[in-house]
Amino acid sequence: MLLAFFKWCEASALGKGISGSVFLFPVVEAVHLLALAVIGGAVLIVDMRLAGLGLKKESAAAVAREAEPWLLGSLSVMLISGFMLMCSEAMRCYYNDAFWIKMYSLFGAILFTFTIRRRVAAGATAPGTSAKAILVALISVLLWSGVGLGGRGIGFY
Amino acid sequence: MLLQFIQWLETTPVSVAFHESIWSFPIVESVHVLGLCLFLGMAVLTDLRLMGIIFKRVPLSEVMGYVLPWTWAGAVIMVVSGMILFLNTPVRYYTNIFLRVKFCMLFLAVVNAWVFHSGIYRKIAKWDRSIPTPTYAKVAGAVSLLMWGGVVVAGRMIAYNWFDKR
């Protein structure tokens, strides 16, 4: 079923349009990287606060609230541009281990961020930190790093 | 003279070994990309606060005091990993138009940050909590975002050989 979907992506107008152009892939890739800078900031500022590493006068809940629209915005750009990149070389991705490491990490990161991490951050209205908050920050950074490393790996594998 | 130095660099054992190794480049490149998240993530947050878009209730000096050490840490990672990456194919990079564009943008970004820190940031006490932020702070933030964005885009394009001479 997945294979059929990837074949369909590769044959789609979007996939063919990007892979058939010299400049489109690099342009979409550049947008993907620019959004990476924003999502990096939006994720790290909250994880660092959860781990008690800074902005201590603000609660983790306040920092998370502030970062949320930037996280959602940059994640949307990442998902859309990432889907476009995938379509342009869908079959290559399908047989690429790094791509699947990225997808599993991404699934885990999104699931974790919008369930446990969101709940823990929203509940952290007091100053300081807790063992639970530090653990959540650590898991978040590890999962998102997996997405980044897997993503960079696609090009090398 | 610079070209001669770079040609010499390419013949050094370190450069040859780095170029020949299968894993060195991907590993250092991955560090460079993860470093980007830290360094530019912090830079973007700083710039958005300068433009008065995020953390409006937090004094600018407090945001800067927190973010700057991490930005420095990220900068060290980026410069060190970037210099190692350069060893891969020094002469090709030296002649690559995108690398030159990247370095010009990098230079302008650093000058912008230096002008900001040695100038208006010294009088921060007067506008630490001002929202909207003063025009000069907005300009410094916007210029920084544009220049760093240019560094990222030009940096990514180094991989393409559209304009390579050989």
pLDDT tens-place string over residues B15-32: 999 988 889 999 999 999
Structure confidence at residue B1 (pLDDT): 82
Collect all residues of chain B within an 8 Å Cβ-Cβ radius of residue A43.
37, 41
**Interface contact B77, partner A, CB < 8 A:** no
Q: Which tens digits make up the pLDDT trace of B46-74?
A: 999 999 999 988 888 889 988 999 999 99
Dist CA B88 CA B71 (whole Å): 26
Mean pLDDT of B80-87: 94
Helices (H), chain B: 2-11, 13-20, 24-50, 60-86, 90-95, 97-118, 135-157
Spans of chain A, pLDDT less than 70: none
Chain A CB within 8 Å of residue B36 CB = yes
Tell me whether B153 touches chain A (CB under 8 Å).
yes
Confidence of residue B126 (pLDDT cuts 50, 70, 90): confident
Return the residue in A66, A75, A142, A145 with the most chain B beta carbons within 10 A, the one to mutate for interface testing: A66
Report ipTM (2 d.p.): 0.88
Distance CA A105, CA B34 (A): 15
Average per-residue pLDDT for chain B: 91
Q: Give the per-residue pLDDT at A115.
A: 94
Q: Is the pLDDT of residue B125 over 90?
A: no
pLDDT value, residue B165: 66
Residues of A in contact with B30 (CB under 8 A): 148-149, 152-153
Question: Cβ contact (<8 Å) for A37 and B45?
Answer: no
**What percent of chain B has a predicted confidence (pLDDT) above 70?**
99
Judged by a CB distance cut-off of 8 A, whether residue B128 touches chain A is no
Whole-number Å distance between alpha carbons of A109 and A68: 15
- Whole-structure pTM value: 0.90
> Is the per-residue pLDDT at B128 higher than 90?
no
How much is the pLDDT for A98? 93
> Which of A44, A62, A145 has its CB closest to that of B41?
A44
pLDDT of residue A54: 75
Whole-angstrom Cα distance, residue B19 to residue A39?
A: 32
pLDDT given for residue B166 in this prediction: 55
Cα separation, A40 vs B36, whole angstroms: 8
**CA distances (Å), origin A27, targets A65, A132, B50:** 31, 41, 28
Residue B57: the pLDDT is: 86
Burial class from Cβ neighbours inside 10 Å (0-12, 13-18, 19+) for residue A12 reads: middle
